[in-house]
């Protein structure tokens, strides 16, 4: 069968690689993909937002399954269009994707169906939002209601920071209309983890968990980014907690969406905080996390495409996972998540160890060499018998990449090591 992967980042590269390893797959296409994916997929010159053209391509090429990586085409209804055309697609409908597309929709759903999350209020008026912050103080969490490429969340540790954030979101429109409404939440403390699952209506097939590093700088400091690295497993989160999260978050969320006539097909991602009261939802996403996909998918022993097809048919499937650990470290352009320059030379990227994998996100080729072409450039993921070994392999591989003008966090996985010493 032929498979089409929609998207162009590191997450999509991980999906492409996993799909290309399937015994069922003869060819993988990536639209638009990036030049770093060329070893595993044929690139298609169509943007992820060209929904009609993508459906036409899938028909012409007789694509048996399309997998959607990023959130924007899902919010734009790509799954609806493909299904209407009789094309098999793994991704939620436009209505179901609102669980990521609108923070207010997600919070209201959780409130209605008693899914544990932080207390919150929604504001469309700047003055009302400011009064709320002044009344409740800091720390406090402010989220742009709409999509902001993973950057529309500020954990404000001071009242001034919170008020400045409200002005940037609601008055300066740094995220456009995505910030015209904001969700203000109580600050949750605890250990954060990402729990993703393959979902078909009320059937939920959980994956192994990962932990993402959202902050730009070591020690979890600096601005929020799309993610600076991830690792799996997360030994400081007990298995009983994961099962509790499946029972109290994932299963009820899948059922709630069916009840709301927005049945979900695809990857349901729960960003969770393990608080003293148990796991609570920080956010839902309607697709694989990035960079979590680059840490979780390499651990999957089962045939990825076989799993997707079984899930879509609501068949029972026992997904097999490697016991080995994976650590993924993101290289980013200096200045990210703010202004950054492109065109920095990265060399040929050939001089990396065999047990390290490079997932391209913001690169392009120039005269046989790779150069930077985005904020997050690539993820170096490595597998090892332990987290410590995987981390060492990943950082050894990064040190072989000649790149001035890029940066990366040198402490990916640090919370697991701190927990192990306690």
C-alpha span between 60 and 328 (Å, rounded)? 36
Position 6 scores a pLDDT of 98
Position 177 scores a pLDDT of 85
Q: Is 238 exposed, middle or buried (0-12, 13-18, 19+ CB in 10 A)?
A: exposed
For residues 148 and 214, is the Cβ–Cβ distance under 8 A? no
Q: In terms of Cα–Cα distance, which of 255, 247, 233, 231 is closest to 279? A: 247
Q: What is the pLDDT along the chain (422 residues), one digit of tens a residue?
A: 999 999 999 999 999 999 999 999 999 999 999 999 998 999 999 999 999 999 999 999 999 999 999 999 999 999 999 999 999 999 999 999 999 999 999 999 999 999 999 999 999 999 999 999 999 999 999 999 888 776 788 889 999 999 999 999 998 898 888 888 999 999 999 999 999 999 999 999 999 999 999 999 999 999 888 899 999 999 999 999 999 999 999 999 999 999 999 999 999 999 999 999 999 999 999 999 999 999 999 999 999 999 999 999 999 999 999 999 999 999 999 999 999 999 999 999 988 888 899 999 999 999 889 999 999 999 999 999 999 999 999 999 999 998 889 999 999 999 998 877 66
**pTM of this prediction?**
0.94
Instruction: Tell me which CATH homologous superfamily contains domain 125-180.
Output: ATP-grasp fold, A domain (3.30.1490.20)
Position 193 scores a pLDDT of 98
CATH class of 191-312: alpha beta
CATH 3.30.70.1290 fits 325-421, yes or no: no
Position 370 scores a pLDDT of 95
Q: What is the CATH number of domain 2-93?
A: 3.40.50.20
Site of tokens 């390499």: 298
Q: What are the sequence ranges of the domains in the chain?
A: 2-93, 125-180, 191-312, 325-421
């Amino acid at each position: 069968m032929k498979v089409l992967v929609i998207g162009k980042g590191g997450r999509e590269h991980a999906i492409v690689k996993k799909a290309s390893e399937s015994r069922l797959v003869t060819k993988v296409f990536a639209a638009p993909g990036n030049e770093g994916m060329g070893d595993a997929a044929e690139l298609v010159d169509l943007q992820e937002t060209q929904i009609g053209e993508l459906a036409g391509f899938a028909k012409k090429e007789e694509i048996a399954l399309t997998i959607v990586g990023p959130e924007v085409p899902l919010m734009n209804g790509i799954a609806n269009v493909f299904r209407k055309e009789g094309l098999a697609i793994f991704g939620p409908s436009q209505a179901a994707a609102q669980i990521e597309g609108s923070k207010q929709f997600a919070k209201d759903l959780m409130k209605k169906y008693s899914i544990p999350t932080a207390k919150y209020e929604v504001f469309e008026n700047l003055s009302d939002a400011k009064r709320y912050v002044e009344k409740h103080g800091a720390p406090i969490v402010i989220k742009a209601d709409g999509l902001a490429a993973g950057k529309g969340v500020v954990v404000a540790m001071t009242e001034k920071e919170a008020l400045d954030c409200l002005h940037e979101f609601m008055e300066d429109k740094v995220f456009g209309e995505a910030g015209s409404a904001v969700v203000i939440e109580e600050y949750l403390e605890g250990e954060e983890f990402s729990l993703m699952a393959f979902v078909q209506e009320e059937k939920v097939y959980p994956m192994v968990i990962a932990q993402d590093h959202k902050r730009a700088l070591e020690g979890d400091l600096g601005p929020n980014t799309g993610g600076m690295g991830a690792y799996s497993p997360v030994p400081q989160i007990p298995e009983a907690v994961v099962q509790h999260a499946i029972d109290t978050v994932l299963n009820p969320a899948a059922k709630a969406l069916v009840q709301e006539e927005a049945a979900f097909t695809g990857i349901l991602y729960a960003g969770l905080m393990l608080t003293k009261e148990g796991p609570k939802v920080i956010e839902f996403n309607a697709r694989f996390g990035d960079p979590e996909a680059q840490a979780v998918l390499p651990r999957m022993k089962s045939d990825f495409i076989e799993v997707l097809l079984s899930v879509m048919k609501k068949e029972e499937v026992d997904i097999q996972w490697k016991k080995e650990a994976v650590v993924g470290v993101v290289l980013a352009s200096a200045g990210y998540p703010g202004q950054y320059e492109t065109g920095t030379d990265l060399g040929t990227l050939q001089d990396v160890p065999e047990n390290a994998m490079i997932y391209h996100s913001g690169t392009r080729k120039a005269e046989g060499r790779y150069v930077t072409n985005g904020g997050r450039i690539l993820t170096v993921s490595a597998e090892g018998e332990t987290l410590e070994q995987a981390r060492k392999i990943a950082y050894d591989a990064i040190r072989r990449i000649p790149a001035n003008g890029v940066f990366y966090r040198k402490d990916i996985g640090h919370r697991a090591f701190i927990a192990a010493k306690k």
